[in-house]
Structure 1
Amino acid sequence: MIIKGGTRAGGADLGVHLNRTDTNERVRVLELRGVAGVNLDQALREMEAFGAGTRCKSPLYHANIDPRADERLTPEQWGRAVDALEAKLGFTGQPRALVQHVKEGREHVHVVWSRIDIERNRAIPDSHNYRKHEEVARVLEREFGHERVQGAHVEREGKERPARTPSHAEMQQAERSGLDPKAIKAEITVLWRQTDSGKAFAGALAEAGYILARGDKRDFIVIDQAGESHSLARRIDGVKAADMRARLSDIDQATLPDARGARAEQAQKALEDAQKAEEARRAAEAAEAAQKAAEAVERADEADLTRWRSMPLNALQWEVNTLRPDREAALAAARMADPAYCEAKDAAEKAEGGAARARLELLEATETVRSLNQQAERYRERQGLLGRVKFWLQDKGFLEIREWKRLQTEISEAQALAEKRQGVLDSADTLHTEAKNTLHPLHCAIAGMVDEALEPEWRRYEAARSVLDERIEEDRRRAAEAEAERRAEEIRRRVDAEIEREKREGIGWQVSVQDGVVTTWWSDGKSPQEDETKEVTKDELQERQVQAKREKDRGFDMMD
């Protein structure tokens, strides 16, 4: 049997914990004594209120009695265990609450006492409570006939101190964080043994996801990945606090973050890890969706190929023509649907129109200058000898020709206007160039999006076109084979007919043997008296037969 307990505050939080049904298979309130509250939450709040008139910060004492899984207690034995623990702790007659939990088929009882002595208005001491827990547990084990559990404080009898078990607060901490305190202790102990200095140990902790921080009550604490704090001395197996401080003497505690800063840092890391995990999850989902989409497209392509290969050729030709994407129409529609492109296109058209008008105005001004110059030249030519003298005197500053001065003034004004209009044209050309430069990237972007959107259609069109080409080529090959077979059959019929005719008319080599002499002659179908005869040897006859066979085979080769 194991009994654990300690002082605490927070009756409301304790009530929530004791009433939890998500972590317990069964929760039953066995007793509420010395309180007016009718339920557990009211009773715990009332017991905590007893300490409002004292300086006690922990007015409650919470203990749990936990026998082995195979050791069942009767209701009377549970009452005897609670009363024995109450008497040993000095809480006899104090308000109390009893709650029984069944967790994973194992029964245990939680007891909450009020530490406040109402008559004396002071808290009952809780000194040496761990020893008192073990003393009561050993007495109850003997009384109930249960197997003894070796404790750390009483009845050691020369045995080694058992390993420290997690406290109730540490168990709640593990439940919140989802991290096993034993696993944390084992990991930190390994890191301690693998390093030989405080800075190396702090670096190893950081690599493992922990943060070494300075504590408010302890020298050093460790903040785990969930933001929970742990006493470093309690998380290193077999190391005393003095030895730990000596090892960590090369670390200035002022440079370490406090608990709040370390928790904030761990929370930021957790947030970043969660964001990375979410991004990885989304990427995996996107990859999976893309894979499924690719598989669906592949299945659809296979179905299309099967259908295209089995449909009539003229129907396939019609479908290929309908499958060809109209890129120009899609590009025009995409441009019209893009407000930025429409705005840039309007600006480019306006700039182009402005440049065209400025060019016409410049041409008009230039033509005016040219016309005035020609008029001035004609005026000077018409003056004759006297006019040349007048112009000489005007050049010397002794005379002024009013008509000539008027023409020169008009020419100057026309040239100034032409220069002004040239500047307007340059500005209009610059605006037109800028508008085209703005329009070109938008055009390229829209074209890229259209091409990307049409890519599946182009791929489907190319696949259908490929099947059509294959089928056309197959039809051509079959037609060529049929034509070759027809020609071979025709040659074969002609050869057979010729052979039959020769046999019928008796045309060919004739052979006879008389008195051991082989006689052969060529017959053209006439009477034998008119045939030319010739005596040959047996070898010559065989050679002629072979030659005849070769000629016949050559005829069949021509048919093939």
Structure 2
Amino acid sequence: MEVVPARGLGSATLVDQVRELVALSLGGRTDRPIYHVHCDPEPAIRDNAAARSRWWALFEAEFDLTGQPYCGAVHLKEGRRHEHRVYGLVRPSGRVVDLAWDYPRREKCSRIVEFEFGMPPVPSKHARAIARRLRQDGRSDVADWLVAAGATEAERPIAPLTPAERLGQERTGIDLDDVRRATLAAWRASEDGSGFVAALRARGLDLRQGRKGPVVVDASGAAHLATRLVGAASRRFEGRRIVAATVKARLSSHEFEDGTDAGSRSRAKPGEAGAVAPRDPGGSRAAGDGGGLGVRRFGGCPDRVDRGGGGRDPRGPGAALRRLRALPAVRRAVLRRRLTAFDPTLDRHLAALERVRAAAERIEAEAAYERERAWALWGFTDIWGLPLT
């Protein structure tokens, strides 16, 4: 790896340069003060350094980053030499660089480099929008090249995995394409919701009710929205997508276990609460025997795990107060004593809280001092021309 010369920064190491970029951006109203991007020219381009230089010039002109500080590094990965840069996004005035529509804008820079270095255009779902913008920018030659190559008429490419799906696949170790194939096979082998569930279970999968609709659960327990999974599988392996409405129509007749949620079989059912823990305020009595002083076990409805009321009104504060007032006088006295008894750890917690407050005030004071110092030294340079910070 080779660290590239930084711009507008005085730190020597790459880590310190990134920290300096963040520090320079403290005056901006943003929670993303820096921007990481990399340039990865095609291996067929012989002059890799020239292609990278041209792309960075186009990129900085596109996003108006010409005067912004940055740091970066060049390294070789899988036979391809590419460059990473991290730019500071907060300008000296405090305004933040506009990164709206950054994906198609970066692809526009890439199409220009491909055109100038004699490469075919890389397929892009933004091809038509890029061609329109190129004409607006006076680069009709590049736009005509895109049209002649068929990029604007080609079917939009779809990535086999989203970043979230890729991370999930790495975490579970289960190939998402295998889940898609099995789900599509189960779909084709069935004619209704119950048959689909049976076919899924025969292939090591299951169907549950999720928050946004039915989900297919794989062997690791990961859930995949059924409409999305069937649609992606049919489009990927058959070339034609099964729309979500079709999936919902087939599964609408299927009744999940317990009527609503197939995942509810793993939940505790009324009357199945275990014994009270040794230190539970409810004492040694079982949670379902109607006694104890547990905070959520006063009176109420006996067919609920927490012995509280059901419905909209019984969950409100009025119903809770009525249940507390209905307790026998002895239990109310014991509860009051437990709730108001002196906690010997209270002093320790209060002392820790005061230390945290003092540290926060000290950090805020130091940050205010650094901001004032940065503004006071703005525009001044040392003998080498580097900005003072």
Q: What band does the TM-score fall into relative to the shorter chain?
A: 0.3 to 0.5
Give the structure with the larger helix fraction: 1
TM-score by length of 1: 0.33
Q: TM-score, length-normalised on structure 2?
A: 0.45
- Please tell me whether Structure 1 or Structure 2 has the larger radius of gyration of its CA atoms: 1
